[in-house]
Structure formats: C-alpha cells, structure tokens
Chain A
Amino acid sequence: MRYTKAENVEAAASAVANGAVPLAGGTILVPAIARCEHQDHTFVDISGLAALTRIETTDSLLLLGSMVTLDGLASAAAKHNGTPARRALFQAAQAVGNPQVRRSGTIGGNIAAGVATVDVYPALLALEAQVTSLHGGTSETVPISELSTAGRLITTIQVPTDGETRSAFRKFAWRASAGITLANVAVCLRIRDAAILSARIVVGGVSARAQRLAKAEQLLADKPANQWTRDLIDEAARIGSMEATCDLPAPPSPEYRRRLIAAGVRETLSEILL
C-alpha cells in the first residue's frame, strides 16, 4: 500500500485520475486498510485540504465541500434549522453512526462509499443535490443520481433550496447508537398555493442503492391541502412500502423492512403535512 498526502485539490484530482483512492474521513477506509485489504492500492489523503471544507449558504443554494464532516453538517443545522427545505439533510447527518464517526466521516465519503446502508446519500437524492467532481483537470457538475465516481474526486455538493420545499428524514436501526440502517426514508415535497407540486420519496438501506418510490410520489402529486389527511399518508405509506425493492440478502426479512418503510413514510409525511 502507498500513502500520499495531497498538496492541493488539483494534485489530488490528478492522483485520483491516475488510479489513486481518495482517503477522506477514513471511517470506512481505515478499518479496511488495517485489515490489510488494500495492499495494492495507492491512497491520496485529502483530509488536509481546507478548500474542501467550506459551507456556504445563499437563498437558493447550500454549498458543501466534500470534506465537510457529518458533525459539521449537523452543527450547521443549529444555524440553518429554520430552513425546512434542508431539514432531511441535517436529520440524516445526525442519524449517522456515533459521535466519533460523525466527527471523522465526510459527506463526500458518504456519497462515494456506495454502501447500501448510508444515510446522507438518500437525503441528498431526495433534495436533488448536484455534485461537482474533478476528473484530472476537468470539472463536471451532475445531478447526484447520475454521478459516477470512478477516477473522480468529488469537490462540492450543491443542495438547491427555496421557500416552497419541505423535507424530512427517518432512520430505523435496532440500536440507538452505531446502529446499522435497516431502512431509511427521505421525503422532499414542493408545496405551492397550498398544494403539493411535486414529491420525491427516497428509500435507502433496503437494496444495494437508494431508490425512489414513484407510485407513492404520484399519489401525493397535486394533492391540495384539504386532502392532506391521515388516510392519504397511510395510503402513501402502504403503496410506497409495497413498491420498494427489498433485496438485501442479510436479515431482517424484506417483509419487516417494508414495515419500516411504511413507518418512515408515515412519519416523514406527517412531520411535513400535519
């Protein structure tokens, strides 16, 4: 195994383009390195790059460097909690692991890890985040759903926001701290003139990658405020939990995971609508 420390973002990006693996917070990579699982890899340490740790907010955008830690994100929540639009993101960051994992783990790592049970990635998917990455010297910004990380260094994440958006997130795990996500649900609704303009419901932790629940989203689209009832929410939860693909081989069973999805959809929608 080889270790190099990146001097700047450009050098890091070019190392990554040449096959080096970015080492960010290390919460996933370091335990694997210690188990001798990466003997043939070259790592480029991006943890010292201050350029990747900025947090900026404008009226329409929250801009996050890829090295912003989950704790940094969650404590930014203290400042921005009044923004219901991004609530799901803060809730997801707070739901990750335990204090030390949140202090080390980064938002970039959460996106790039490609692990089924991550929490922040589904929230970003629901919030229609855009991700900027460098392939060598070339920069590219794509919707997070279209991101491919091969040979790329993620530099920033842009979370759009406006006065019409409301979001919420729920995670289910059996242990309250450092519990593995058994299912999570991120919901993002755009509400205009007392009606749901559009809905995005994302479920993670039940399949290899987070997925959208199109039928449940459809049920909610265009629903005016006078129809925001428990029944509507229950129906969305029922439909959503049925349509989700639950195919992780590990226990608990797909049936149980569907229960969790239903509970998650019900709770997030209730938080926003009721």
Chain B
Amino acid sequence: MMKDAEQLDIALNVNGVARPAKVEPFLTLQACLHHRLGFREVRYGCGEGVCGACMVLVDGEPKSSCLILAVQAQGRNIVTADGLDVYFAQNKNTVAAGLRAQLTARQAFQCGYCSCGVMVSAAHHIASEASVTPSSLKTALSGNMCRCTGYQQMMEATLATSQREPAPQSPVQRGDLPVKMSGAAGYPTDQKTAGPLIGKILWAQYPSARISSIDTRAAAAVPGVEAVLTHRDIPKQNSTGATSFGNDQPLLAVDRVRTMADAVALVAARDEAAAAEALKLIQVTYEPLQPITDLPGAIEPGSAKNVTAQFVQETGDVDAAFRTADLVVTGRYSNEINDHACMELEGGTAWMEDGTLMIAVPHQTAESGQRAVSKMLGISQDNVRIISQNMGGSFGKYAAFTIEGYLGLLAYHLQKPVRLVLGRDEILQRRSKRHPSYGDYRLALTRDGRFLALDATILTDAGPYVGLTPAVAAVIGAEASASYNIPSVRSRVRGILTNNLPTIPMRGYGSQQISFGVESIVEQAAHKLGMDPADLRKRNYKKTRTDGWGHPIPGKDFWLTQTMDRVRELLGPPPLCPPGWHYGRGVTTIHAKYGYPYGMVDRFVVKVGVNKDGQFRVECDISDSGTAVTNEMARLLAKGLGLTKLPEYVQSRAAIDDPSGIAFGRGHRPSWLKSAAYRTMEWVQMTGAKSLLVITARITNPRNLVRLQRVIARPANFFIKMAGNFKSWVFPFSRESFQPRFGSSRSLSMCAGAVLDGVERFKKTVLEVGAKEFSSDVSELQLDGEGVYHSSDTSRRLSWAALAQRAGGDLAVVGEIHNPVGPLLDPSTGNQTGAVDFMDGSHGCDLLIRPDTGQVRILKYVAVHDVGYAFNPEALRGQILGGITMGIGQAIFESMKVQDGKVLNTGLHDYLVATTLDLPEEVKVEILESGNGMGPYGSKGIGESGAVAAPIAIANALYNALGMQLETIPSTPEKLAAMADAGAGQRSAIAV
C-alpha cells in the first residue's frame, strides 16, 4: 500500500540564484530542475546517463542530472545551458557567448533537442582544456547523443570557438536555433510539467492472446489513483494508428491482443509510484495463442491470408530477358527492424482549456491527430488541438500517429491535466518500427555489364495492423529499378500481417529496403563480372529526367554520373592497410522517389500575414522536426517582401480553416460556420479518397486498379476544371485536398512554393488595401520593405502596421502550392505518376575491418548529392551528415534483439545510437545544384536520402573487405567476424 511520499525542503543554487524546492527523496535533479523549477533546457532522453540531454554543470563539472538525486544537489552550484553565459562571464571568459554564436552561424543543430547538453559539455571543454583538438573534442562530446546532425557542425563550431575565431557571416538567419538552444523552445514533453497527473499504459503481456477478463478494481483503489480506463471507457471509436488504409488498430484492446504494442488499460495517478503500483494491480486474464513472428511462416502458398498489401508490377518481358542473358546473379537481402530513436521521448501533456482538449505531443501532421482524437471521443474536431511546434526528432515516427489518443482519453475523461511520457524501454519495446523486409533478387546482364532485367520478390512485415504498409509496399515495388535503366523489371511486394511490432516508415517509405536489395545485387554483379562497381553503375544509370508520367524532360538530365565521379575524386587513392586489418572501399547510388506517387493529391497551404503591430507571421500546421523548413518559410517571406526582421513561425491550422484565404484577405477570421463547412467538405473528400485507397489496396491487377481509379477520379477532375485559375471559395477543395499537409523530404519545396504564392497574394492584397486608402489606382502604388507608398508622392505611405489596422487588425492571405495531378498509377511503364521527383546522390567510403573481432573503423566517408537548388546549403549538409551517422549505426550496430515478437532492448545503453567516437575519421559532403527539381528554383527534397545510402555504401565496402556479401543490415561485428572466417579464401581484390 502506498503512503504519501515524504517531502524534503531543499535549497538549490541554480545559475547563481537560490531556488528552494520541495522534493521527494527519489526525485532526480533533472526532474526537479525541469518539471518543478521550469528549467526546460535540462532535457531528458534516457534517464541513465547515456544521452547527455540533461547535462548541467555541478560545481563546474558537466554531469548528467538524471544520475543525481535532487536532495544530493543541496548546496551545490548548478549551471544550466541558459546560465552558461553569465557563469563564464564571471571569469571574463566569453566562451559561452562565442560558442552560441558559432553554433548558430554554422547551423549545428536540427531538432535542437540535444543542444543544451552539448553546449554544457562543449563550453566546459573549451574553458578547461589548454588546447582543444578534434580528438579531445570527440571524447569530450562522446556523452552527448544527437540523432539528427552527425555531430560535424557542432564540432566545427566548438573548435572554431576554442581558436577564438569570429563566427562566420552566415547568409542564412536562423530564428529557430537560438530558441531551441535555450529553455524557451517548448518541446511537447516541456509543456505543463508541474502538477499534472501521471499517466501510464498497461501493455499487452503476450504478442498474441485472447483476453477473457480485465479487472481494474484493485488498481483503482490504490490511494492517489484517479482513473483506470479500459476500452469500455472510450466514448466513441476505439481506434488508433494510421487510418489511411484501414481502421484495424484498436486504441485499447477489447478481447484480443495481437502485438506487444497493444495497450490494454490506462492509469492516471497523482504520482509515478501510485501509477506504477496501479499498473501492477490490473488483472488481465489472457489465453495465450501461438504468435506468428516469422515472415515466411506467416504466409501460406496460394493463400491471401495475412497478406495486407500487395504490389505487382511488370515492364518488358522479364522471363525472356533472363533466358537470353549472359549472366544471371541472384541474392537474398534483408533488413531488420530499426527504431527511430528520437532524442526526445514520445509523450507530452494533455489538458482542457475553455472546453478545448489541448494535447502537446510530437506529431508531424497535427491535423490528422486531431481528427483521430475527435472521432475517438465523439467531439468536434474544433475542440481538439495538438501542439507540436517543435519536436525532438521524428524521422517518420510521428508521421501517422503518436500517443495523442491515450493522453486525450485520460485528460478528457478526468477533465484534468495528465502527463504521459513513455520510457525509453517502452519506446523500444512497444512502439512502431521501420518495416523489416526481405527479398529475393535476380539480375540479368550482358557480358559487358548492361542490365537486361531485374526480378524482385519482397516480403515486408507490417506487424498486426495495416498501418501505412500499402504505401510502403508500393514504394518498395515501384523503386525496384532504382538508379538504373533496366528494360524489363518485375517486382512483387507483399505486406504481411504478423504478431511483431506495428510498423511506420523511417526515413523514406521503403526506400532503404529496396535500395539495399538492388544495390547489393548490382555490387554482386560487379564482382562476378570483375568490373569496377562504380563503372558498372555508371554504365546503367538513368540519364534523362522524366516527369511523374515517365515523359522525358529534355535538357534536365539526372546528375547521377556527376555525383559518382565526384565521389571517386573525393575518395582519392586507397589508403595503406595496417597489418591485422582488411581494407575495403564501397560506393553506392541513391535515386529515391519522393512526393505523392499516388497520382491524386499534392497540396500545401500556408497563411502569411502581418498584425497591427507590424509583426509578420507564417502559419501552417507543419511541426518542426529539425529540417529547417519553418525557418525557411520565414526567410522566404522576409525575402519576398524585403523585410529586415525575420517573421515568426507559428504552428496553426488557420490556413486549413480558411483555405480560400478570402476571409483573411479581408482581415477577418473565418466564421466557425465557414470553417466547419470547409472541414466537412474536406472530410467528404478524405473519405472518398480513403475508400478508394482501401479498395485499391485489395486489387492486385494493376490494370483494373487504374481503370477503377480513373472512374473515381472523373468527378474530381470536373471540380479542378471548375476551380480553374479563378479561385472560387465554392470549390476550395478538389481531389488534391486529400492529405494536403504532410511533412517529409519534400516539405521544404512544398512549403517554399506555398509561401512564394502567399507573398504574391499578399502583395496584391496590400496594394488593394492601400489603393482604397489613397483613393487611387493599384497601378499608382509601390511596395518596399516598410509598406506601401504612392509612386508620385512618396510621403504618402502606409506602414505594414497601418495596413493591418486598416484591414481590421490582421492582414493575411493563404498561399498554396498544387503539384500537377495527372493520370494515376501507370501499369504499362511501371511509373508511379503524379508529383514525383527524385533525390540523386552517390556515397563512398573506405573502411578497415578486423577479421578476428569484426570491429570496423571507417576511415573516410564521402557523399555527393544533387539537391536541385540549395535554399540553405549548410542545413542540407547537416541533413546528409546526420543521415550518414544514422547509417553507420544501421549498417553495423543498431541492432534490436527480438525473441518471439518481443523486443529485448531496454534503453539507449543497448540500442546503440552512434556517438562522436563512432564517426568516420574523415567525412566530406558536397552539394551539387542541377536546378532539376520540381520545387521552386528547381529545388528537391533531400532529408531521407543520406540515411538510405549510408548503410549500403558501408555494406559494399565490407563486401569488398571480406570477400563475402552482407545479406542483412545491420550486420553486427559478431556476424562480420564469422563472415571474415568464411570469406577468408574468397577475398578478391576489386579496386574501385
């Protein structure tokens, strides 16, 4: 039985100020500083001393505050990241201020979650070390994990600070970084931390079982427990997960659990201990069933049982090509599950505010989360708001759903604030993972290395629910030809239901899975032919850029050859191989699709405007997961209007409430009636589009599929024509409004397009307002960075603020971007159609492996990407560097131990996210600008491609070093050592 925990009065000294606090003896210093005292810069990523997010100076030494009890810190001098400047300035040391300037100018952070811990370690290292070297710095930062950046830019910034270099003049203003590098950021787990009830989830005990009873009485009787909820307490729809393809995932289990990720009950209590106690006392009677956990074991030949997605595509005469080929190579390649391992834990707080349920959780598409929660609770979508302006990482994890359902249910039921943050163990063991896949590949070639045909049969594990599997299966299948011109291609992809963990894309919908398979079979072909792997690739590259329909776009060739040539130049001659090691070089190419390949929708809306104080804002419902998109939108608006001050980015759904922009253009908010009407129309279309997807997911013959889609799409085309060029508020939606706001690699080019459109509309609107004011014609007015003026009498001017006042206090418009919609999936060419673009790049690496232990040392890693047009080269470089570092882990040691559907990893100590000490000894990233992308100025998406290519380049280098090919990623040193033994006889010297 619980008794109220003893409370101790302590006096802390934080950033030079006495801070008394009441704490329980078990409260950590991190929790005390962050939750009780509001030092939000003292973040949390592991609770076990591994990640460094909670780092503070204790009596001048950087320490993990999660390893210290608050009571122990009594009388100690504590300095948080926000106190570094003052602390060091006491000793006339400007290290902290200098470091901050360098880190910002070099855009050293992305999501920014790690930044405060990094600054504590880095500032201390500079201040205490006589000479900072790259190697001393790597060690000093080796306790600070960053999932986004790959560490290079933060190391460059720290080194420059230590050498007292002035911060470089960055052409790019980053409004978001100084905020993220301080407690001001406000990540979901920072919201309302003092005082809420503590929520916890009772997870399934078995991967597959029937539930015969759930008894919550004993749990509810625990003192301090305020609610124990089961499926019976869900007011309306018991569902969660990605609902684009089906509603098969319950929020809380009813009579069956199908995966360890199923939740059975929720608890809210006054403190952690009471909540934990209540979880133990919930009695669930299970009847365990034999779980299906092995992929091929889940399917029966000739049966559609357990098949949840199917994608079949064939171009050319594959069988004939294999019959006549000079050489046929075959291989089986697979990838295991991976966790996104975002540095911020998944979770947040939910509370009621004026009848609206507020939920602070990480979410890439707040809109879809709001919709899901409103359906579950049976309340209007207007009464649910998801707040996720900043997120400590995402990488696809929060693309579809997060824990908003659990939080929403608890807070709405109790009408009280509830905090629910999953532990790292729960994230690893209970949350969705990247689709594990395995495939059989056959490649037919001519003697001189021309690809004739590719045949790929791939199984991908969906977990027990459909999730986004059909989309992932489609990308895996459609990308089978990868970077290559292959006349005949057959790909068969099936998504299989198992009792493993559910799945969600991670850095690319299936791109990793298919690229590893194709690049591996190509690499094997090079070995068989005795050809240089880079030359074999170059011989077969796709050259002419095609549009989404497969039509060539003359003068816009893909720059694959250019990227590969540059990679080879940068790699230079092979290094000397020390005794006791094997050397290998590997290269690969990435040509991943991004965009909406469904041929249906691709639309973004953004609200831009100014208020009566002359403050500019950009608003849309995109969350910032670190891709610099929100900052870029602000920059583009500033540039477009000639503003000197960077506008603010605010996450809101304003642009969705009035997609026509008409109400804003007149300085009004849309009436609730109008926004409800918009929402309803959107819902009708969503439902229509969704049933289309559900139906099509079941159809395996692509010809029938296309025929059906054409029929359904016909009325939508009519609306598009109606809407035409004049923007009618009667038809604000067309079929392209289906999932219009979605973040991934392409969000930058999409958002930029919408802002640029917004700028034009804004100019038009303010000129109209000005013309009315001056009673003159629009053509007599001009704009500058300050506002509107009369061309013949420049003293007649209206500032932005005045313009906004004339328009009722807020002058805003909605900008939008539509990508062209065309015929749907084309079965004859195998091309997915619609707004599709390609991320092009090549990677290469030199590495050493010790055959006895399997230890790998990456000597040099180079990556060259064609980004189309670089809005912000340094931010792009950071994305690629981060992808490379993630890829190193995913090639070698980011391995999950899974047994009978249960993940055994428990934290970041055993899920091995790479640290500074695991980086290649030298990394070079170069950016080419072909201007060939479909975004504004020819820009392209980039985000995922670095992470997709890196494990493959490493795998190919290991193949060349060991003489044996990796069949699975990750391949741990244990596997590599065994391969080294087996491959000892076969090592062939292939020089690249």
Contact = CB atoms under 8 A, between A and B. Distances in A.
A100 B67 contact: yes
Contact of A99 (B71, B139, B850, B904): B139
Interface stretch (A49-57, A147-155, A175-183, A186-194): A175-183
A75 B139 CA distance: 14
A58 interface: no
A104 interface: yes
Interface residues of A, number: 43
B427 to A, nearest CB: 15
A176 B28 contact: no
A36 B897 CA distance: 26
Interface residues of B, number: 53
A169 interface: no
B244 to A, nearest CB: 37
B248 interface: no
Instruction: Give the most central of B121, B142, B850, B914: most A CB within 10 Å.
Output: B142
A256 B974 contact: yes
B909 interface: yes
B279 to A, nearest CB: 11
Interface string B271-283: 0110010000000
Contact of A103 (B48, B62, B914): B62
B47 A99 contact: no
B173 to A, nearest CB: 33
A179 B49 CA distance: 12
Interface in B949-975: 972-974
A45 interface: yes
A259 B143 CA distance: 28
B143 A101 contact: yes
A253 B917 contact: no
A47 B25 CA distance: 15
A31 interface: yes
Given A3-B8, A31-B48, A175-B915, A100 B64 contact: yes
Contact of A34 (B50, B66, B892): B66
Given A31-B67, A174-B972, A177-B916, A97 B49 contact: yes
B50 A178 contact: yes
B329 interface: no
A2 B912 contact: no
B62 A174 contact: no
Nearest to B71: A3
Contacts of A1: 25-26
B759 to A, nearest CB: 46
Interface string B32-55: 000000000000000111101001
A73 to B, nearest CB: 15
A263 B61 contact: no
Contacts of A38: 26
A252 interface: yes
A100 B68 contact: no
B897 A251 contact: yes
Interface in A10-37: 23, 25-27, 30-31, 33-36
A256 B976 CA distance: 11
Contacts of A175: 893, 912, 914-915, 917-918
Contacts of B912: 174-175, 179
B692 interface: no
B852 A263 contact: yes
A180 B50 CA distance: 11
A263 B855 CA distance: 11
Contact of B273 (A39, A45, A252): A39
Contacts of B6: 2
A100 B64 CA distance: 6
Given A176-B917, A253-B974, A100 B892 contact: no
B18 to A, nearest CB: 19
A90 interface: no
B372 interface: no
Contacts of A253: 974
A236 B27 CA distance: 50
Interface in B235-278: 272-273, 276
Contacts of A251: 897, 974
B225 to A, nearest CB: 15
A188 B582 CA distance: 30
Contacts of B50: 98, 178
Nearest to A101: B49
A263 B62 CA distance: 34
A33 B769 CA distance: 64
Instruction: Give the most central of A3, A36, A43, A177: most B CB within 10 Å.
Output: A177
B272 A36 contact: yes
Interface string B413-440: 0000000000000000000000000000
Interface in A53-78: none
B384 interface: no
Interface string A85-125: 00000000000011111011000000000000000000000
6 A-B pairs with least C-beta separation: A176-B917, A98-B143, A177-B142, A3-B25, A177-B915, A100-B64
27 contacts: A1-B26, A3-B71, A23-B69, A26-B67, A33-B28, A34-B26, A36-B273, A36-B276, A39-B273, A98-B49, A98-B142, A98-B143, A99-B140, A99-B143, A100-B49, A100-B52, A100-B64, A101-B49, A101-B67, A175-B893, A177-B143, A178-B143, A178-B908, A180-B910, A256-B974, A256-B977, A263-B852
